[in-house]
Amino acid sequence: MAAKKLLILPGDGIGVEVMAQVRRIIDWMAKKRKIEFDISEGLLGGAAYDVHGTPYPAETLEKALAADAVLLGAVGGPKWDDLPFDKKPERGLLGIRKDMGLFANLRPATVLDALADASTLKHDVVAGLDIMILRELTGGLYFGEPRGIETLPDGTRKGFNTLVYTTPEIVRIGRVAFELARKRNKRVCSVDKANVLECTVLWREEMIKLQKEEFPDVELSHMYVDNAAMQLVRNPKQFDVIVTENMFGDILSDCAAMLTGSLGMLPSASLGAADAQGRRKALYEPVHGSAPDIAGKDMANPLATIMSFAMCLRYSFDMATEADMIEAAVKAVLKGGLRTADIMQPGKAKVSTTVMGETVVRELDKMV
Ligand code: NAD
Ligand code: IPM
Ligand code: MN
């Protein structure tokens, strides 16, 4: 079998620290399971700006398009906050998502048994939770035109962005949602703001039409985004798949992360359209950012990134066995009582990023 081409973009801040733990697992896979990865590293975000003067070098996109999958840590940080807008690290991330056509961002919020008491919410509200937030990733308010900041003739300044979706954009994300639901509990909740925003009136109409025409076996419901934010903390288990606009999904997924115990627990997969062979361009990354407040302290939780790698094995490389092994190893480490600071609980042992990564590998070792 040809080696699987993996591009690793550690990025900035804790991105570098958590990605180092994934490298341990990749090395383990090569040594203990003879799985060959053809790995290259690239620069994105602040790290790229420091070397190339741009957060998004052309060679990073070239490498990403040539890879079978991309793994990303996180980008951004105070060091680059005052740069002009188009040089900010976040522009690199948004650019690569758009240029790779990664319109479907899967953000699964799963509460692992060992962490059912780690959430700020009550045990019964979150125990056993398994929901999928599907965030549209290359359209909506993040990418709509016109956008910008202008000065009007009277000197008033005006800042503006545009919420826009076309029917093909709505239908393609809708299809992913219904297909995901078919493999789960067959329920899709489409989250919009159709009481206020015309764009999401269209979104709702298209979801209804799509369900009727192609997915009558899947139940479709609708919810306004403000209510959805409230329902996520009131009774998250009512959801199966949530599908929503780009910015709504950004906000709701951080909120869902806290159901699982920490932002440091939420992995994600960003997928493009399937080609004739069923292959999709894909980038895997934790939902969290570069966490400047804890960067450089070896205290970040690497599990979201480790589980993003498991998603990579599952979705891009058809390696369900190895993905299962990684997820089982993560569960075993947590069951054994190790916690990074963000998920620390009374009576448990607080460990560093490095020790958490090493212990996941030790658990993998027990499986072969
Ligand atoms: P953040 O996600 O970086 O951090 C929010 C809070 O969660 C912080 O208190 C942080 O310490 C904590 N946290 C996040 N990940 C953690 C982990 N793995 N383990 C333990 N604690 C963790 O969000 P922010 O502070 O709003 O943004 C910081 C920078 O990251 C900004 O530049 C922002 O643009 C960028 N960002 C990047 C991404 C990405 O690359 N995908 C995502 C979000 C934010
Ligand atoms: C995320 C982040 C990004 C987003 C930023 C850093 C561009 O918050 O991946 O959730 O808003 O999409
Ligand atoms: Mn976000």
What's the CA-to-centroid distance between 307 and ligand 2, angstroms?
18
Whether residues 314 and 326 share a domain: the answer is yes
Q: Return mean pLDDT, the chain.
A: 97
Amino acid letter, residue 284:
Y
| ipTM summary value | 0.98
> What contacts 71, CB < 8 A, 6 or more positions away?
6, 7, 8, 9, 19, 22, 283, 284, 285, 305, 308, 309, 312
Neighbours of 368 (CB within 10 A): 9
- Binned at pLDDT 50, 70 and 90, residue 3 comes out as confident
Whether residues 154 and 23 share a domain: the answer is no
How many domains in the chain?
2
User: What end-to-end distance do the CA atoms of the chain give, in Å?
Assistant: 21
Are 123 and 141 in contact, with CB atoms under 8 Å apart?
no
pLDDT of 302 reads 98
Does 96 sit in the ligand 2 pocket, CB within 6 Å? Answer: no
Whether residues 126 and 101 share a domain: the answer is no
Q: Is 366 annotated as a binding residue?
A: no
Are 206 and 167 in contact, with CB atoms under 8 Å apart?
yes
Residue where a domain terminates, one of 260, 282, 299? 260
Whether residues 133 and 250 share a domain: the answer is yes
Look up residue 280 and give its two tokens.
Answer: 């999709």
Whether residues 294 and 363 share a domain: the answer is yes
Phi, psi of 185 (to 5 degrees): -105, 20
Are 282 and 69 in contact, with CB atoms under 8 Å apart?
yes
Cα–Cα distance for residue pair 244/252, rounded to 1 Å: 9
pLDDT of 27 reads 96
pLDDT of 1 reads 59
What's the CA-to-centroid distance between 105 and ligand 3, angstroms?
11
- Binned at pLDDT 50, 70 and 90, residue 2 comes out as confident
Q: How does strand 269-274 pair with strand 104-110? A: antiparallel
What's the whole-number mean pLDDT along residues 338-356?
97
Domain that holds residue 338: 1-111+263-368
pLDDT of 278 reads 86
Whether residues 204 and 294 share a domain: the answer is no
Whether residues 72 and 156 share a domain: the answer is no
* DSSP bridge partners of 188: 220, 241
Residue where a domain terminates, one of 218, 245, 260? 260
What's the CA-to-centroid distance between 250 and ligand 2, angstroms?
7
- Binned at pLDDT 50, 70 and 90, residue 93 comes out as very high
Which atom of ligand 1 lies closest to the CA of 304?
Answer: 18
Which atom of ligand 2 lies closest to the CA of 247?
Answer: 11
Amino acid letter, residue 213:
E
pLDDT at 77 over 80: yes
The 10s digit of each residue's pLDDT in 211-249 is: 999 999 999 999 999 999 999 999 999 999 999 999 999
Cα–Cα distance for residue pair 174/87, rounded to 1 Å: 33
Are 73 and 39 in contact, with CB atoms under 8 Å apart?
no
Q: Is 89 annotated as a binding residue?
A: yes
Counting residues of the chain whose pLDDT is more than 90, the rounded percentage is 98
pLDDT of 150 reads 98
Sign of the alpha-carbon dihedral angle for 327, 332, 334, 339 = negative
The 10s digit of each residue's pLDDT in 101-147 is: 999 999 999 999 999 999 999 999 999 999 999 999 999 999 999 99
DSSP 342: G
Whether residues 363 and 312 share a domain: the answer is yes
Our mutation pick for probing the ligand 2 site, out of 56, 90, 106, 305, counting the most ligand atoms within 8 A of Cβ, is 90
Tokens 């093909």 belong to: 168
Whether residues 97 and 137 share a domain: the answer is no
What's the whole-number mean pLDDT along residues 278-293?
96
Nearest ligand to the CA atom of 137: 2
What's the whole-number mean pLDDT along residues 295-308?
98
pLDDT at 173 over 70: yes
Whether residues 349 and 238 share a domain: the answer is no
Domain CATH for 305: 3.40.718.10
What's the whole-number mean pLDDT along residues 94-100?
98
The helix (run of H) or strand (run of E) holding residue 6 is: strand 4-11
Which residues are annotated as catalytic? 142, 193, 226, 250, 254
Residue where a domain terminates, one of 260, 279, 295? 260
Whether residues 241 and 148 share a domain: the answer is yes
Q: Is 294 annotated as a binding residue?
A: yes
**Between residues 348 and 3, which one has the greater pLDDT?**
348
What's the whole-number mean pLDDT along residues 287-292?
98
Whether residues 195 and 256 share a domain: the answer is yes
